[in-house]
């Protein structure tokens, strides 16, 4: 395989090697360098990621990133306890704001999923406990070595989607669930040439998986 400085896919103007998909936009680069792939165990941030991945359906991720701050305002920083209480008034308010994703079914899905998230916490103790149970075994979680090897669906994401749908969640298909797994650090899909691969790998190694149901 060619080195990063020989391959224009990976070499950026600042001299750092990155995954090719974040080229061309500072918002993409910041997200790639500061967030993508780092393990997440906070329930509120996990709910945000589920919502954002669902909002992306049919849109570019750049569109979602650029609307994220406004989405956080409307969705109470993705506090699912608060979002669960939303009604038609909040739906109409968001439909009238061009700064957010103005798609009724996606808005209603986020509200529905907030209610399902509360139920899931009651049965599993936390969203983190539920989601991290789908982490692929180490023998299955191999970082891609070329851009062609990056998957859009794996058996674990299909299983996650199936379980979420059984529990009443929406906009959580296998592809969306795999994007969530990439985003929340359940897999490390940075290419080996990328300067973030080792940092994400280290963070994943040090992350304490939430395996026990919290008592209430």
Catalytic residue among 61, 75, 178, 197: 61
Residue 31 bears catalytic tag: yes
Which residues 6+ apart lie within 8 Å of 180 measured at CB? 49, 50, 53, 131, 157, 160, 186
Count Cβ atoms below 10 Å from residue 199 Cβ, excluding itself.
15
Contact between 83 and 110 under an 8 Å Cβ cutoff? The reply is yes
Catalytic residue among 31, 36, 75, 169: 31
Residue 61 bears catalytic tag: yes
Dihedral sign from CA coordinates of 45, 47, 52, 57: positive
Which residues 6+ apart lie within 8 Å of 85 measured at CB? none
Contact between 143 and 190 under an 8 Å Cβ cutoff? The reply is yes
Q: Which of 118, 141, 114 is nearest to 209 (CA)?
A: 141
Dihedral sign from CA coordinates of 176, 180, 183, 189: negative
Catalytic residue among 10, 28, 48, 53: 53
Residue 132 bears catalytic tag: no
Task: Enumerate the active-site residues.
Answer: 31, 53, 61
């Amino acid at each position: 395989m060619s080195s990063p400085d020989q391959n224009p896919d990976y070499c950026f103007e600042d001299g750092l090697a990155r995954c090719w998909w974040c080229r061309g936009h500072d918002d993409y680069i910041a997200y790639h360098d500061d967030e993508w792939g780092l393990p997440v165990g906070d329930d509120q941030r996990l709910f945000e990621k589920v919502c954002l991945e669902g909002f992306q359906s049919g849109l570019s991720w750049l569109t979602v990133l650029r609307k994220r701050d406004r989405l956080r305002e409307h969705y109470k920083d993705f506090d699912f306890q608060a979002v669960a209480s939303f009604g038609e008034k909040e739906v109409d308010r968001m439909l009238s704001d061009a700064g957010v994703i103005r798609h009724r079914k996606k808005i209603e899905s986020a509200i529905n999923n907030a209610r399902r998230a509360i139920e899931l916490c009651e049965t599993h103790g936390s969203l983190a406990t539920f989601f991290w149970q789908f982490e692929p075994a180490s023998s299955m979680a191999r970082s891609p070595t070329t851009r062609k090897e990056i998957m859009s669906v794996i058996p674990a994401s299909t299983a996650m989607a199936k379980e979420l749908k059984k529990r009443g969640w929406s906009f959580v298909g296998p592809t969306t669930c795999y994007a969530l797994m990439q985003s929340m650090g359940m897999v490390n899909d940075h290419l080996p040439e990328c300067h973030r691969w080792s940092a994400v790998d280290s963070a994943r190694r040090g992350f304490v998986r939430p395996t026990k149901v919290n008592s209430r």
